[in-house]
Amino acid sequence: MNLLRRIFAAVLVSGTALATAAPSLPYDEKADARADLTQALAAAQAKHKNVLVVFGANWCPDCRELATKMNSGPLATHVAQRYVVAKVDVARFDKNTDIAQQMGNPIRKGIPAVAVLRADGTLVKATMGGELASARRMGDDEVLKVLEGLAK
C-alpha cells in the first residue's frame, strides 16, 4: 500500500509539473474581440502608436509560434515600440470574421494574419497573401520584414 501511495504521489507531482510547464495559449477564446479592439485603439491614441491586430486561433501551430516570436527577442522589442497589440480569435474561421472583413479579409489566405490600424481605426495595411501562414518556418527577420512592410 505504501508503494502505491508513492507511485500516486509521483504521478500527481509530475502531472502538476507538466501542467505548470505547459505554455499558455495566445488567444482568449472567450474574449470580446470588438471590446478588446476598442481598448487597443484607445491605448494606441494615448501612446501615439498604431494597433497591430493579430488574427489567429489556438489550434494553429503557426499562430502559436508567431505569438511566441512576438513575445521575446528583437521582434518583441520592435512590436512593443511601435504597436498596441490586439489578438482576435477566429476559431475555425467561424468567429470574428466580420472584424476581418472590415480590414480587407486578411485571413482568407490563412492564419496567422495581421492588420495595422492607425489609432483612429483606419486601416494602414494588412497581410493579404498569407504572408505569415508559415510562421513556424520563418525567422524573426522574416516576420519583421512582413511587419515593416505593413507600416508603409
Domains and CATH numbers, the chain: 24-150 (3.40.30.10)
Kindly report which listed range (17-31, 35-49, 89-103, 126-140) carries the lowest average pLDDT score: 17-31
Q: Strand 50-56's sheet: what is its strand order?
A: 83-89, 50-56, 113-117, 123-126
Contacts of 41 (CB under 8 A, 6+ apart): 51, 84, 117, 119, 120, 121
Contact (CB, 8 A) for 89 and 96: yes
pLDDT over 90 percentage in the chain: 81
Partners of 86 in the beta sheet?
Answer: 53
Across 27-44, average pLDDT: 98
pLDDT at 12: 42
| pLDDT, mean of residues 115-140 | 97
- 91 contact partners, CB below 8 Å, separation of at least 6: 29, 57
| SS3 category, 29 | coil
Strands 50-56 and 123-126: unpaired
